[in-house]
Amino acid sequence: MKKYNFTVVYPGSFDPPTNGHLDLITRAIKMFKKVIVLVTNNTFKKYTFSVEERVDMLNLVIKKNKLQNVKVEKHNGLLVDYLKKNNINIVLRGLRAVSDFEYEFQMVLTNRKMFPQMETIYLMPDIKWIYLSSSLVKEISKFGGDISCFVPKVIISIIKQKFEKLK
Ligand code: PNS
């Protein structure tokens, strides 16, 4: 496959990372020169894992899957400020069901107002993950359910331990 010669930023909450996120990162590194997975906060969400824990989980997933040309970073603030500071203008997001569309539309247009050079590329995960979300994984974990088919193997115990502690 032809690789596009630019860096993309894949921002998200990743609270926790799921097989859907891994699917997207794997697709992206085949397409782009470099992928930066950016752990950022959505102020409307209450997080279970700290930014550091989310960064560590993503690094474990990347290492375990031997993914090349991908780097995990964290950012506290506006996405557009990170992009401007790092001279990047392409953002990558995953699009699952139609329900994602309105939120993404709002985010793109708002970000564009603040940083007109920014463009967002959407990739769809494999159909297996189209319904999957971090919130569902948390809900299942909270009640002691089996999350092994929803998240990368290497982080299952970390997620389980977190919910054990929160009990
Ligand atoms: O995984 P999520 O929660 O859908 O990701 C949303 C995220 C974190 C990418 C978005 O909330 C974000 O960019 N947050 C950083 C702060 C910001 O720039 N907010 C303005 C969005 S228009």
Question: Is 112 known to be catalytic?
Answer: no
Residues 6+ apart with CB under 8 A from 101: 95
Q: Is 9 in the pocket of ligand 1 (CB under 6 A)?
A: no
Confirm whether pTM is higher than 0.85.
yes
What is the rounded CA–CA span in Å between residue 79 and residue 65? 27
Domain extent for 31: 4-166
Q: Is 76 in the pocket of ligand 1 (CB under 6 A)?
A: no
Q: Pick the catalytic residue: 54, 75, 134, 138? A: 134
Number of structural domains found in the chain: 1
Tens-place pLDDT, residues 130-145: 999 999 999 999 999 9
CATH number at residue 152: 3.40.50.620
Question: Is 134 known to be catalytic?
Answer: yes
Work out the mean pLDDT of the chain and round it to a whole number: 96
